[in-house]
Amino acid sequence: MSKVKINVIGAGSMANLVHYPSLSKIENVEIVGICDMNEEKLKETSKKYKISNTFTDYKKMIEETAPDAVYIIMPP
């Protein structure tokens, strides 16, 4: 079975406490790109979860990585 390619928008505390750990445990999911305006959080998250494609522009991320789905994590 091929993996579902996911992009994630958001690299804040809730994303790192809940969403990235959950997504990284799903066998048929591959996070192919992440995006955040905060470059420090983006760098920390990409390093922690070994995600090489990082972006500050979500449109560019989607265009370059061609995901199957986009996971958006934003404050309420």
Does the pLDDT of residue 45 top 80, yes or no? yes
pTM of full prediction above 0.85: yes
Does the pLDDT of residue 1 top 80, yes or no? no
- The mean pLDDT of the chain is 95
Give residue 74's pLDDT.
Answer: 86
Residue-range domains of the chain with CATH: 4-72 (3.40.50.720)
Own/partner pairs, 58-65, CB within 8 angstroms, 24+ separation: 58/7, 58/9, 61/7, 61/9, 61/33, 61/34, 61/35, 62/7, 62/33, 64/33, 65/5, 65/7, 65/32, 65/33
Give residue 75's pLDDT.
Answer: 80
